[in-house]
Amino acid sequence: MADRRDPPGGGFEIFLSPPQLDGTEGEALAAALRSNWVAPAGPSLAAFEDAIAKLCAVKHAVAVSSGTAAIHLALRAVGVGAGDEVVCASFSFVASANPALYLGAKPTFVDSDERTWNIDPERVVDLLRKRAAKGKLPKALLVTDIYGQCFDADPILEAARKYGVPVVEDAAEALGATYMGRPAGSLGDIAALSFNGNKIITTSGGGMVVSDNQEWVENAHFWATQAREPGMAYTHRELGYNYRLSNLLAALGLAQLARIDDRIDARRRVFERYRAALGDFPGLEFMPEPEGFRSTRWLTCLLFNGAEDEGLADRVCRELQARKIEGRPLWQPLHEQPLFRGAPFVGGGVCCRFARRGLSLPSGGALSEADQDRVIEVVREVCAAVT
Ligand SMILES: *Cc1c(COP(=O)(O)O)cnc(C)c1O
């Protein structure tokens, strides 16, 4: 267990994905404070919801305290409950699938597609067909837009519609990404966003549920505010949570949102600069971006794929950290986590290979070229030593 007195930032000099502030946030927060709308709701909260709904091209939004809370509410909104099967991407952060456990549901994990690194559409289609034949369809599909790249929505939505299974999109890493011109957050039937400190824009901590389905979003809002029934008295029929985002943090989010295009362009430039500097190493593969997809490049991810490269990602990562640079392993497959022991897994070894051979590099939008050169130098050094 981590020592909670570890130095803030773990002693790193170059961070993986630090919050990027541009100076307008202080004034936005001060204005929200001056307005006295400190809690619970207020004008910034409504404005932030409207702005995000517009960006995601959906009709309704409710801001909450984290992306994890948003996933929890979204799963509950589509009807997931105790004992239900939820089909999830194995290659994701644990916060994707934890809310299924909060609800007493049972995750089934599916492998990644090499093309997108996201949930493999062929396997999803096949799984739904088999479940339908047995008359036991899953209650929901929970798909992640991994590292800022949208899932391959069209084939998955087609199958989901055919069998009437709702699709919940975990777009925590992908705000501002597009798929065939459609924005992340609009691809599933309902989506969750995150404004955690390491994401594309931040409210320090926060999230949002977005959907065209008014009833679902209204229910999410209701549960997020203790499921307090309308009327003067404190009447409660359903189990609720205290999940609402504060108006102050929404003001911060609005200030951040004004720059989202620049943020994404900056991250994409960081990715391209890494690729230009490192792409010549044999066996080194950067996360692909298929035609029609536009990723946020939330993190620059690469694989060391050469025959001799087993263990190389780990060595590079250790060397980066030894030099106070926050390189990180990729997400470890959820079906291999002790927490999800016994959960079914459909697939081969794609996401396991990503986890063993992959790495993410410092990718913040404000990463200086000098700092990026330090990162590149370490990767080149370790790679050169083995080739
Ligand atoms: C960050 C993240 C979450 C959780 O968001 P929080 O706001 O940190 O709760 C969920 N899923 C994915 C894929 C994430 O990267």
CATH number of the domain residue 342 falls in:
3.90.1150.10
Q: How many domains does the chain have?
A: 2
Token code pair at residue 2: 């981590």
219 Cβ inside 6 Å of ligand 1? no
Q: How far apart are CA 375 and CA 379, in angstroms?
A: 6
169 Cβ inside 6 Å of ligand 1? no
CA 11 to ligand 1 center in whole angstroms:
23
DSSP strands (E only) in the chain? 60-64, 85-89, 106-110, 140-144, 167-170, 178-179, 182-183, 190-194, 207-211, 284-286, 293-294, 300-304, 345-346, 358-361
95 assigned to some structural domain: yes
Indicate the residue among 224, 257, 290 that finishes a domain. 257
- Contact (CB, 8 A) for 296 and 200: yes
Cβ-proximal residues to 241 (8 Å cutoff; 6+ apart), any chain = 69, 72, 73, 223, 224, 226, 227
Choose between 37 and 107: higher pLDDT: 107
Mean pLDDT for the chain? 95
34 assigned to some structural domain: yes
**What is the pLDDT confidence band of residue 3, given thresholds at 50, 70 and 90?**
low
Which residue puts its alpha carbon closest to atom 7 of ligand 1? 67
Indicate the residue among 235, 257, 279 that finishes a domain. 257
Which residue puts its alpha carbon closest to atom 2 of ligand 1? 172
For 207-256, how does the pLDDT look when each residue is reduced to its tens digit (9 = 90+)?
Answer: 999 999 999 999 999 999 999 998 888 899 999 999 999 999 999 999 99
CA 211 to ligand 1 center in whole angstroms:
18
207 Cβ inside 6 Å of ligand 1? yes
Atom of ligand 1 nearest to the CA of 145: 13
* Region 6-33 average pLDDT: 88
For 111-164, how does the pLDDT look when each residue is reduced to its tens digit (9 = 90+)?
Answer: 999 999 999 999 999 999 999 999 999 999 999 999 999 999 999 999 999 999
Atom of ligand 1 nearest to the CA of 66: 7
Atom of ligand 1 nearest to the CA of 71: 10
Q: What pTM was computed for the model?
A: 0.96
159 and 293 housed in the same domain: no
Cα 145 to Cα 120, 285, 358: the distances in Å are 12, 19, 17
Q: Which helix (H) or strand (E) holds 256?
A: helix 247-257
Q: Is the CA virtual torsion 188, 192, 198, 202 positive or negative?
A: positive
Residue-range definition of the domain harbouring residue 178: 24-257
| Per-residue confidence (pLDDT) for residue 41, from 0 to 100 | 85
| Per-residue confidence (pLDDT) for residue 136, from 0 to 100 | 96
For 276-319, how does the pLDDT look when each residue is reduced to its tens digit (9 = 90+)?
Answer: 999 998 899 999 999 999 999 999 999 999 878 889 999 999 99
149 Cβ inside 6 Å of ligand 1? no
Q: Give which of 9, 10, 14, 11 is closest to 372, Cα–Cα.
A: 14
**What is the arrangement of strands in the sheet containing 293-294, beginning at the earlier edge strand?**
182-183, 178-179, 293-294
| Per-residue confidence (pLDDT) for residue 17, from 0 to 100 | 95
Indicate the residue among 225, 257, 289 that finishes a domain. 257
- Contact (CB, 8 A) for 295 and 147: yes
253 and 285 housed in the same domain: no
